[in-house]
Copies of this chain bind each other. A is one copy, B any other.
Amino acid sequence: MQRFVNDPDDIVDETVRGFIKAHGDLVRLHPNNDRVVVAHGVPARGRVGIVTGGGSGHEPAFLGYVGRGMVDAVAVGELFSSPTAKAFLEAVRVADGGAGVCVLYGNYAGDNMNVKMAQRMAAKEGIEVLTVVANDDVCSAPPSERAKRRGVAGEILMWKVGGAKAALGASAIEVRDTAQKAIDATRSVGIGLGPCTLPANSGPNFTIEPGTMEVGIGHHGEPGTEVVALETADRVADRMFDIVFSDHDLSSGDRVCVLLSGLGATPVNELYVLYDRVERRLAEAGVAVHRAFVGNYFTSLEMVGATLTVMKLDDELAALIDADAQSPGLSVRATGGQ
């Protein structure tokens, strides 16, 4: 395994420590819990707190999206594992400025269980906790079972919207409803070309035979809908577009926000090659890209592959996506640009 690792048991400690050192201008470690990262200025009195959390190995997700106008506190799990209920609870407590907290997270069994537990414990302390469960991953369940779908890179756009809505002084219910609207308007798909290896394991988590690719793969190597022969970049982009588009209610005249993320080991230039084609397909469908993010936004260790996320925008979502935000993983200037 050609990797930079000390004792695999220490990797999350070291990642969080390095992250806090590198981004100390924006974030800090929770004083009593080394699995909770907090934005400066949090809690903000009278403002709804935004919390998320998830397993490590997806950097810059999840901790990289803590900052201004984004996530206030994040619960950090072990590699590919849910954070504990205690970490979620501490994140909720620290993010609560008296106006309640919205936990915006992805649909995984461990996260569901631990967020619910934290929610109950927080309720006993008088903290109102509302939740939104992201399920943007189209291939993880059919349309008739959308609630079973996993949350993937669309979560980043949900955090952006939720963070911006909270910054405007909205109530917890308004923030929750807007974040829910955001993720309901979002579809994602992943294509895997190569597996990843958890440092404590001797071999890859799963297998992708050279010359093939897995369509609809999940962020931890969860099986997709099919394994097909490796295709050209354009055909892969077409496939991603078709999967997202056919599940979406997009039509000519619509505006979208697009996030095209590498899964870890795919060269950055190839993400732009994919994006070039995706944008063309959107344009042919009469759909305008209001804003695009291309890069390593939500990775899976050194998995080879990419994900496409498309959020349909109404005027409110467009304004919230454009609102000022500053975090190590994503930065938007209210005046335009990143």
Contact = CB atoms under 8 A, between A and B. Distances in A.
A267 interface: yes
A88 interface: no
A2 B274 contact: no
B2 A230 contact: yes
Nearest to A303: B267
27 contacts: A3-B193, A4-B193, A4-B236, A4-B274, A4-B306, A6-B273, A14-B272, A14-B277, A15-B269, A16-B272, A17-B276, A18-B271, A18-B272, A18-B276, A18-B294, A22-B293, A22-B294, A23-B338, A26-B337, A59-B268, A67-B337, A68-B337, A196-B267, A267-B302, A269-B301, A326-B337, A331-B331
Count the copies: 2
A228 to B, nearest CB: 13
A267 B274 CA distance: 21
A110 to B, nearest CB: 19
A221 interface: no
A266 B3 contact: yes
A57 to B, nearest CB: 6
B299 A267 contact: yes
Nearest to A79: B269
Contacts of A45: none
Q: Please classify how large the interface on chain A is, using the bins under 10, 10 to 19, 20 to 34, 35 or more.
A: 35 or more
Given A4-B236, A337-B67, A18 B274 contact: yes
A233 B333 contact: no
A316 interface: no
A264 interface: yes
A14 B292 contact: no
Nearest to A212: B2
A190 interface: no
